[in-house]
Amino acid sequence: MAYKLLVGGYTQGGLRVVTFDPSNNKLDLQSTGIPVGPDPSWIVQHPRDSSLILATSEVEDGKLHVIRLKDGEELSGEVLTSVSSGGTYPAHLLVLDDSIVTGNYMGGSILDIPYSLGPVSVKDHGSEKAQGVHIQFSGTGPNPDRQESSHPHEVYLHGNELLIPDLGADKTWRLVKGDSGWEIKGAIEYPAGSGPRHVLIHDGILYTVLELSNEIALHKFVALPETPSPIAVLSTFASGSPADPSMLAAEILLSPDKRFIYVSNRNDPSPEGDTLAVYTVHSDKQECKLVNEIRTGVKHARGMKFSKDGTYLAVAGSHTGSLKIFKVVEGSSNGEVTAVASVEGLEKPTAVVWL
């Protein structure tokens, strides 16, 4: 069975379609892209309608696009609607039951936008401001180039809470929905200048990628009004923090078998490309620790995603314009994956969806 993947990035060429055939480990890049707005740097498949793709245009006049995929000799798509993200340079979005939440990186805000599936309808914050709930964050950090203001980098749902890692404020904001919409009810603090980027929660443990310090922070997560307690802060490199300040941690994933945490690093000067840091999950029986570093062969490994069946891992190299497929080594004691295919010719890829 061949797999199809969609790739977004910093491009004017739309979403690119890639086909992966595991019978011969071949990756093919479809000649035509799926037109969408500029710089669709974050893309997701709708959790209840697999024919819908949602994408952010990470530009000054931020946009959210809803695309309907169309099967044929070549996969195509149609933009059903495009609405304002409610801010500038949206870098993330989350699909909820009846709304879409966009995170505006440069705008320091999120927007909760009502929508419905049939027929697809998304309320435009630009023309119907009462239809979207806008939350503004504030805060700065000691890094003058990256932390001059609030920079929400992800929107993550856990239980009844929205978690918003804020790279600029060294916090993850905690929001709960009230009568008038989402409300800030607390925040998790991180070391000054560390720059929280992405989070995940597994088995009661909050894992946070700290982009600027190349670390992951672990907390014992508890519901509001309690405060999560810190467990550890670990480097994303076996040798400790890198000497080169341009090296930045990026994505975090839980392995399909839920035994390992994967974190991508960017801008490694090695000719072998960036690394993936692999950790054991934290539990009462074992501490989280770095157990593997995997060379990817790509540069600026920002986006990565496991296939839905858990067999493969796709890693996008923005600076190499490439997508690489790794096969998960079943039963591995250190989360090993092996490279099986790659393709170049993509323009600054940053996000991947397995269809």
Q: Answer whether residue 126 shows pLDDT above 60.
A: no
- The residue-averaged pLDDT of 122-136 equals 64
Domains of the chain plus CATH, in order, are: 238-346 (2.130.10.10)
- The residue-averaged pLDDT of 148-174 equals 99
Q: Give the pLDDT confidence score for residue 240 in this predicted structure.
A: 85
Q: Answer whether residue 125 shows pLDDT above 70.
A: no
Q: How confident is the model at residue 128 (pLDDT cuts 50, 70, 90)?
A: very low
Distance CA 151, CA 109 (A): 8
- The residue-averaged pLDDT of 39-61 equals 97
Task: Name the more confident of 158 and 117.
Answer: 158
Question: Quick one: which of 35, 38, 81 has its CA closest to 59?
Answer: 38
Q: Are 295 and 272 in contact (CB under 8 A)?
A: yes
Considering the chain, what is the average pLDDT of its residues?
95
% of the chain surpassing 70 pLDDT: 96
- The residue-averaged pLDDT of 343-351 equals 98
- The residue-averaged pLDDT of 49-66 equals 96
Q: Give the pLDDT confidence score for residue 124 in this predicted structure.
A: 60
Bridge partner residues of 54 (DSSP): 44, 66
Q: How confident is the model at residue 129 (pLDDT cuts 50, 70, 90)?
A: very low
| pLDDT, tens digit, 9 for 90 and up, residues 164-222 | 999 999 999 999 999 989 999 999 999 999 999 999 999 999 999 999 999 999 999 99
| pLDDT, tens digit, 9 for 90 and up, residues 79-122 | 999 999 999 999 999 999 999 999 999 999 999 999 887 666 77
| pLDDT, tens digit, 9 for 90 and up, residues 260-290 | 999 999 999 999 999 999 999 999 989 999 9
| pLDDT, tens digit, 9 for 90 and up, residues 228-263 | 999 999 999 998 877 688 999 999 999 999 999 999
Bridge partner residues of 327 (DSSP): 312, 338
% of the chain surpassing 90 pLDDT: 90
Q: How confident is the model at residue 130 (pLDDT cuts 50, 70, 90)?
A: very low
Q: Give the pLDDT confidence score for residue 304 in this predicted structure.
A: 98
Q: Are 2 and 15 in contact (CB under 8 A)?
A: no
